[in-house]
Structure 1
Amino acid sequence: MDYETLDAEIRALSDRMEDADEATIAAEVERLKRLAAQIPDELGRARGLARAERLPELIVGPAPGTSEQYLRATHLLGIAMGSDGTPAERIDLAERTATEIALLAEAAPYRESNTILRMNSALARLIHELSAIPES
């Protein structure tokens, strides 16, 4: 067993087990951990064990954020994405929102900071789309 083989199996399982129950997923995690324990090099074994333990998250995705920063960023994103006004006004709001979301990401708990920061991708796309609209 090597890390690459284990990783390929974990990827395949994460796609196939979308509707699996918790007991089935837990059994697979234990089986994968036994396989990871067979990896001869220490670094590969450690990576394999960590990857096997993340199978449930790979199947269902990460838990939604719960921090004050996450909730505020989600609220701000919704306002900016649903705003009315001229393209210039909406771009201005989206840019201000992106700045505030970046600050919220810095202050957020580590496990949520990247998720919050990625919210700016939607704002960047919005700004790009609005920039293509000619002013009337």
Structure 2
Amino acid sequence: MDYRTFDAEYAQVLAAARSMDSATLAGEVERLRALVPLVEPRSDQSQAELLVTQLSQVLDMEQPSVSGAMAAAVRVHRRARNAQGSPTERIAALRAGIDEIGQIADTVAETTEQHQILALTESLAMQIEALESSPATNPDR
């Protein structure tokens, strides 16, 4: 993803931030954070990371505590996103994270929170797509 595409995603989150509850905004910050490693060229990743860090700091100042389920889902998301290893191992970790987040969402009775938790899986799925389409993982491409 080029920096302009990332910046457009960031701008959408920023524009909608005032109308989001803190759990939704936290999910969006995590989604943006997961996109940072996908920004090309790599030299633009530091600027993308800075934007996410600034948004995260604002969120930390204003954010009331999130539910236990959301906190657990964010931890799973972070662990899956930061998985190390070969592309195949990382894909397996990302898929396991998606499954675990789905299981956490199933424990939540409130529909809005359930959707917010499930939204965390979108960035993990995007990482899987990126890994699967990379020449290192799929030499036929």
- Normalising by structure 2, what TM-score? 0.51
In 1: Cα distance, 2:121 partner to 2:82 partner: 15
In the TM superposition, what is the alpha-carbon distance from 1:63 to its structure 2 partner?
A: 2.2
Q: Which has the larger radius of gyration?
A: 1
Match of 2:76 in 1: 76
The sequence identity of aligned pairs, in percent, is 22
Name which structure has the greater RCO, CA cutoff 8 Å, separation 6+.
2
Match of 1:90 in 2: 90
Equivalent residues in 2 for 1:1-136, closer than 5 Å: 59-64=18-23, 66-110=66-110, 111-133=112-134, 134-135=136-137
Unaligned runs of 5+ residues in structure 1 are 1-17, 19-56
Match of 1:40 in 2: none
Unaligned runs of 5+ residues in structure 2 are 1-14, 24-64
Deviations 1:26-82 (A, max 9, x none): xxxxxxxxxxxxxxxxxxxxxxxxxxxxxxx97342122722111111001111111
- Normalising by structure 1, what TM-score? 0.53
Per the alignment, in what secondary structure is the counterpart of residue 71 of structure 1? helix
Structure 1 vs Structure 2 CA RMSD: 2.3
